[in-house]
Structure 1
Amino acid sequence: MSVVFATPAVLRGEAAFQSARRDRRRATLTALVVLAACLVLSGWVSEVNFATLAAGIPRIGEYFGRIAPDLRWATLFSNAETEGSIAFWFYRADAWALLLLETANMAALATLGGASIALILSFFASRNLARNTWSYQLARRSLEALRTVPEIVYALIFVWAFGVGALAGILAIMIHTIGALGKLFSEVIENAEMRTWDGVRASGGTWSQACRFAILPQVAPSLISYTLLRFEINVRGASVIGFVGAGGIGQEIYSVIAFNYYEEISAIIVMVIVVVAMIDLLSERLRHRITDAAGVR
Structure 2
Amino acid sequence: MPHAIPILPDDQLAPMFARYDSAVRARRRHTLIMAAVVGVCIVLSCWMGEVRPLVFLAHADRLPNYFWSILPTLHWNTFFADLSEWYWNLDHWLKLLVDTIFIAYLGTLLGGVGAFFLCFLACANLVANPFIRVTARRFLEFCRTVPELVFALLFVVAFGLGPLPGVLALAIHTLGSLGKLFAEVVENIDMKPVEGATASGASWAQSVRFAVVPQVASNFASYGLLRFEINVREASIMGFVGAGGIGQDLIEAIRKFYYSDVSAILLLIIATVMVIDLLTEQVRHRLIGMEDRR
* 1:284 paired residue among 278, 281, 284: 281
| 1:231 corresponds to 2:228 | yes
Residue of structure 1 in register with 2:272 after alignment: 275
What secondary structure is seen at the aligned counterpart in 1 of 2:123? coil
Look up the match of 2:9.
7
Of 214, 217, 240 in structure 2, the residue corresponding to residue 217 of structure 1 is 214
- C-alpha distance in 2 between matches for 1:254 and 1:7: 78
Q: TM-score normalized by structure 1? A: 0.92
Separation in structure 2 between the aligned mates of residue 51 and residue 41 of structure 1, nearest angstrom = 18
Structure 1 unaligned residues grouped into runs of 5+:
80-84
Contact 1:124 1:131 in 2 (8 A): no
Q: Secondary structure at the match of 1:213?
A: helix
Which whole-Å CA distance do the structure 2 matches of 1:191 and 1:221 have between them? 14
- Does 2:158 match 1:153? no
Equivalent residue in structure 2 for 1:74, among 68, 77, 86:
77
Q: Greater shift after overlay, 145-154 or 18-27?
A: 18-27
Alignment of 1:56 onto 2:53: no
Q: Is the 8 A contact 2:72 2:260 kept in 1?
A: yes
For the aligned residue pairs, the C-alpha RMSD in angstroms reads 1.7
Determine the C-alpha separation between the residues in 1 that align with 2:37 and 2:186.
38
Aligned-pair distance for 1:48?
A: 1.7
- For 1:38, give the aligned amino acid: C
Closer/same/farther in 2, CA of residues 5 and 195 from structure 1, 3 Å limit: closer
Q: Distance in 1 between matches of 2:293 and 2:233?
A: 27
TM-score, L = length of structure 2: 0.93
From the superposition, tell whether residues 43 and 90 of structure 1 become closer, same or farther in structure 2 (CA, over 3 Å): same
Name the structure 2 match of 1:208. Answer: 205
Is 1:257–2:259 an aligned residue pair? no
Q: Percent identity?
A: 47
Matched to 1:127, the amino acid is A
DSSP-derived class of the 2:127 partner = coil
CA distance in 2, matches of 1:175, 1:15: 57
Contact kept? 1:154, 1:172, Cα under 8 Å:
yes
Whether the 8 Å CA contact 2:104–2:231 is kept in 1: the answer is: yes
Structure 1 SS opposite 2:114: helix
Instruction: Give the match for residue 3 of structure 2.
Output: none
Any idea what the Cα deviations from partners look like across 1:159-213, whole Å, max 9, x if unmatched?
Answer: 1111111111001100110011011111111111111111111111111111100
Q: Which stretches in structure 2 are left out of the alignment for 5+ residues?
A: 1-5
Aligned length: 288
Query: Where do 4+ consecutive residues of structure 1 move more than 4 Å?
Result: none
1:19 corresponds in structure 2 to: 22
